[in-house]
């Protein structure tokens, strides 16, 4: 059994905090680099330089350049999930919750530089989305089923299809479609998929979109 | 102006045929390797060995290992498009055409070894699908709109979302879902997206699926 003396515990705690702080600085540096210079500009040396840590230290935290890019994207997606949770908590109508969430998802995906082409190029977008927002989508769809608002034979597949369809809608946008129109149509089609009749899906997808609230930065 | 004498033309023709034949042998070798050994086993030397051509020759045809893998996948997707065209030509109901096409698409995607994880991993699936099957999906959806069967505000986005949703459905299947059930649900959700009322979408997606016809190998 490990030595659990208070002094040892304090040392371990300090070391852990220091490690978390170094990891955070690396991820923040990678995010800045990604936002300002694009995916090609993110290299291990650009990240360690931005974080002001020794280059060799990088490998104590991440296996590769791609691994830290994944971490940046994962955090961005998870953050969006938390903001959507904050926005929709307490809203009464599952269809409206789903529609608002989809429109913000699409808007964020095409306006935040960490998202966009990066995700489509890396091919990791879908996994990341499923892992972070998938359970939330399944939860929101299930609430709709339980309240009789949605008629969905299989919540899990419908939730997954939400994210594949997002990648398609993002690509359409990036090829020149208007952002609001893309987000509205995306929500409208997925409301239909959830069993909302077409005229009602049309109306719900065009309701005024409340802004996303900020959330505290609690990602380690 | 180039010498257009009959002898020169014959020589140029022979050279072009020889080049097409070499390219075909390389692509066929890459496909065999991909099917039998998976994506990791496809190397430039395994491909040139399988095609029985000198290793240096490879670069006259493809820039990289990934380029020939892309060519194999592109051909597989294009071939499926041709088979779907042959199956559905002359069918009267746009909803049935779309449903049959989607179910075959899903079935092929998860049973042909060239598809499956390879596509999801490489992240090129979506581009390839949009390029080859996208125009066909847009055509079929437009026929449905013109005949009053579908109510789709925007055919282009709906067609694109078909393929993103496919990637999601494929991933669900690969994580353990039954193939027929995946294909049926996938079609059912997308029929709803196209404006078919839920009970009718349910019925259409479960009609007996006619087998895919073979088509002549006319891909150069």
- pLDDT for residue B117 is more than 80: no
Instruction: Report which DSSP code applies to B177.
Output: -
- Which of A32-41, A182-191, B74-83 is most confident? A182-191
pLDDT (0 to 100) of residue A201: 94
Q: Quick one: CATH architecture of B65-220?
A: Orthogonal Bundle (1.10)
**Could you tell me where in chain A the CATH 1.10.357.10 domains are found?**
66-210
- pLDDT for residue A59 is more than 90: yes
How far apart are the CA of A183 and the nearest CA of chain B, in angstroms?
Answer: 11
Averaged pLDDT, A157-173: 83
Going by C-alpha positions, the residue among A184, A177, A141 that lies closest to residue A159 is: A141
Summarize pLDDT for B181-195 with one digit per residue, the tens: 889 999 999 999 999
pLDDT (0 to 100) of residue B220: 43
Averaged pLDDT, B106-119: 71
- pLDDT for residue B21 is more than 90: yes
Written as six digits, the tokens of A171 are 């690509």
Q: Give percent of chain B with pLDDT exceeding 90.
A: 40
Contact, A153 vs B188, CB < 8 A?
Answer: yes
**Which of A123, A161, A186 has its CB closest to that of B121?**
A123
Q: Within 13 Å of residue B103, how many CA atoms lie on the same side as its CB?
A: 24
- pLDDT for residue A117 is more than 80: no
CA atoms of A44 and B163, how far apart (whole Å): 34
Q: Scanning every residue of chain B, which has its alpha carbon at the shortest distance from the alpha carbon of A161?
A: B165
Q: What residues of chain A lie within 8 A of the CB of B169, using their CB?
A: 157, 160-161, 164
Averaged pLDDT, B32-43: 86
- pLDDT for residue A210 is more than 90: yes
Full DSSP string of A155-216: HHHHHHHHHHHHHHHHHHHHTT--HHHHHHHHHHHHHHHTT--HHHHHHHTTS--PPPPP--
**Could you tell me where in chain B the CATH 1.10.10.60 domains are found?**
1-62
Q: What residues of chain B lie within 8 A of the CB of A131, using their CB?
A: none
Instruction: Please indicate whether, in this complex, the C-beta atoms of A192 and B195 are within 8 angstroms of each other.
Output: yes
- pLDDT class for A30, splitting at 50, 70, 90? very high
Residue to substitute from A110, A155, A189, A195, interface B, most B β-carbons within 10 A: A189
pLDDT (0 to 100) of residue B176: 75
pLDDT (0 to 100) of residue B58: 95
Q: What residues of chain A lie within 8 A of the CB of B185, using their CB?
A: 153-154, 157
Q: How many CB atoms lie within 10 A of CB A154?
A: 19
With a threshold of 0.85, tell me whether the complex ipTM lies above it: no
Q: What residues of chain A lie within 8 A of the CB of B199, using their CB?
A: none
Q: What residues of chain B lie within 8 A of the CB of A158, using their CB?
A: 189
CA atoms of A144 and A138, how far apart (whole Å): 10
Query: CATH assignment of A66-210, given 2.40.30.30, 1.10.3720.10, 1.10.1050.10, 1.10.357.10?
Result: 1.10.357.10
Tokens 């719900």 belong to which residue? Answer: A204
How far apart are the CA of A22 and the nearest CA of chain B, in angstroms?
Answer: 30
Q: Tell me the helices (H) and strands (E) count for chain B, helix number first.
A: 10, 0
A93, A95, A101, A105 alpha-carbon torsion, rounded to 10°: -170
Q: Give percent of chain A with pLDDT exceeding 70.
A: 90
Question: Residue length, chain A?
Answer: 220
CATH class of A1-62: mainly alpha
- pLDDT class for A4, splitting at 50, 70, 90? low
Q: Within 13 Å of residue A22, how many CA atoms lie on the same side as its CB?
A: 17
């Amino acid at each position: 059994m490990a030595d659990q003396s208070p002094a040892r515990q304090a040392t371990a705690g300090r070391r852990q905090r220091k490690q978390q702080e170094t990891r955070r600085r690396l991820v923040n540096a990678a995010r800045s680099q990604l936002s300002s210079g694009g995916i090609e500009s993110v290299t291990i040396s650009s990240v360690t330089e931005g974080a002001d840590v020794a280059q060799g230290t990088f490998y104590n935290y991440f296996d590769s350049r791609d691994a830290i890019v994944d971490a940046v994207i994962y955090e961005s997606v998870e953050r969006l999930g938390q903001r959507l949770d904050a926005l929709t908590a307490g809203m009464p109508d599952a269809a409206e919750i789903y529609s608002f969430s989809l429109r913000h998802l699409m808007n964020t995906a095409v306006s935040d530089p960490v998202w966009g082409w990066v995700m489509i190029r890396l091919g990791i977008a879908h996994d990341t989305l499923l892992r972070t927002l998938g359970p939330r989508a399944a939860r929101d769809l299930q609430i709709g089923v339980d309240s009789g608002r949605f008629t969905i034979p299989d919540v899990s597949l419908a939730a997954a299809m939400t994210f594949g369809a997002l990648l398609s809608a993002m690509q359409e946008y990036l090829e020149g479609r208007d952002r609001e129109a893309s987000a509205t149509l995306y929500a409208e089609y997925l409301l239909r998929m959830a069993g909302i009749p077409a005229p009602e899906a049309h109306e719900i997808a065009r309701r005024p979109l409340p802004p996303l609230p900020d959330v505290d930065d609690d990602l380690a």
